[in-house]
Amino acid sequence: MKNLRWIVLAAAAAVVIALPFAIAQQGPTPDSSETVARPRKKDPPPPSTDVIDSTTNSSNTTNPPSNATPPPATNPNDSTDSTDEPKIPSKFTKKDKDLPETAPTFHSDVTTIQLDVAVLDNKGHFLPGVPREKFRVLEDNVPQKITSFSVNSDAPITIAMVIEFSNLFQRYYSQGWYETLVASYGFVQTLKPEDYVAIVAYDLKSEILCDFTTDRQKVQEAMQRLRIPGFSEACLFDALADTEQRMSNIEGRKAILLIASGRDTFSKLTYDKTRKAVQEAGVPIYAVSMLQAMRIMAEQNMGPIQQLDWLQADNEMKTFAAETGGQAYFPRFVGEFPNIYQSVAGALRNQYSLAYQPSNQAKDGKFRKLKVELVDPQTGDALRISENGKPVKYSVVTKAGYTAPRDVE
């Protein structure tokens, strides 16, 4: 009997010890799928079937009467929450072509076109004092009525410096490297404390060395990165279109200072697409071409293809500047840079601001050409400006046009 007793106690102990391991081998319980991110929907508790009848004894309280309505059957696989409300049906759908008159509609209208105009003499100096009635705005050769006019003098500017810095023409300690750094550092020194500036360098791809800031310490730190170029490619079109798009929503006086040779070797965008992008953005481009002196000395050793490439680069920079309301400069000597900086600052800080409501309200998404002229209001002829009794040759600089909006569908 004593041995039988020990055998029974040993078997009971084995069962107690093996029970936790058996539970652990069953895996996670179904409730383990409930998480904070996606809680498990629990079935509502079934309604109670207890019916209390005061006329019966307590032994019958758990038995429902024969005429009681049974509870609705619950499907355990149905995950629909009983508290969800039915969706509100939409009154109108996209398939409805003829909407009632009371249905709301939304339209995008062109209310005002804003133009920044600079009147410059043949030396690039700003000509002040031109009255409002002397300006004439033409949209697709149709005169427009000017609704507002103001003169901004010495206003702060927001400018992005797009600098070509590749191993193609800016090799370390080369002439192109030296000219690029002198032009870049020189322009930064002419900025005022309240001016915002960004530094963008490009070779195989564009890189924002410094975002828009008034902190000159950050700008100097960004300029210090222009030391040794990385790639022998120049993606001018991509860098220019990307910067134009980023600056299109910036308010106030803004411009792009392009310091480059004008050559493009590896851009994803073509010249036509880049030209359309800069026209739509409308940010003025002031282009400063590099390596002019070296090109003149090397022209006799160039083939016709190389000469054509450089001529095309110059024409592209001129086109980008002219169609955005900027200017293009082709200095041959480093000593010309201070005059260029003064011309750019004068064109940006001293401008005439014109606004008008276009007579063509068609929302067709087409490009509208713009032209601003100075005329004699009595005769309609071109205005003559003289200084010290001598006629002054001048030019009116503004953007080439804008793209009309489309209807909101």
Candidates 3.30.43.10, 3.40.50.1970, 3.40.50.410, 3.40.50.80; CATH matching 158-349: 3.40.50.410
Kindly report, residue by residue over 223-244, the tens digit of the pLDDT: 999 999 989 999 999 999 999 9
**Radius of gyration in angstroms for the set of CA atoms belonging to the chain, rounded to a whole number:** 38
CB atoms within 10 A of CB 389: 5
Domain with CATH 3.40.50.410 in the chain: 158-349
Kindly report, residue by residue over 365-382, the tens digit of the pLDDT: 888 999 999 999 989 899
Q: Which three-class secondary structure string do you get for 161-186?
A: EEEECCCCCCCCCCHHHHHHHHHHHH
Q: Determine what percent of the chain falls in helix, strand and coil, rounding each to the nearest 5.
A: 30, 20, 45
Task: Compute the distance between CA of residue 143 and CA of residue 129 in angstroms, rounded to an integer.
Answer: 22
Predicted pLDDT of residue 80 = 46
Predicted pLDDT of residue 329 = 95
Predicted pLDDT of residue 376 = 92
CB atoms within 10 A of CB 253: 19
Instruction: Write down the pTM of the prediction.
Output: 0.66
Predicted pLDDT of residue 62 = 44
Residues of the chain with pLDDT under 70: 1-111, 408-409
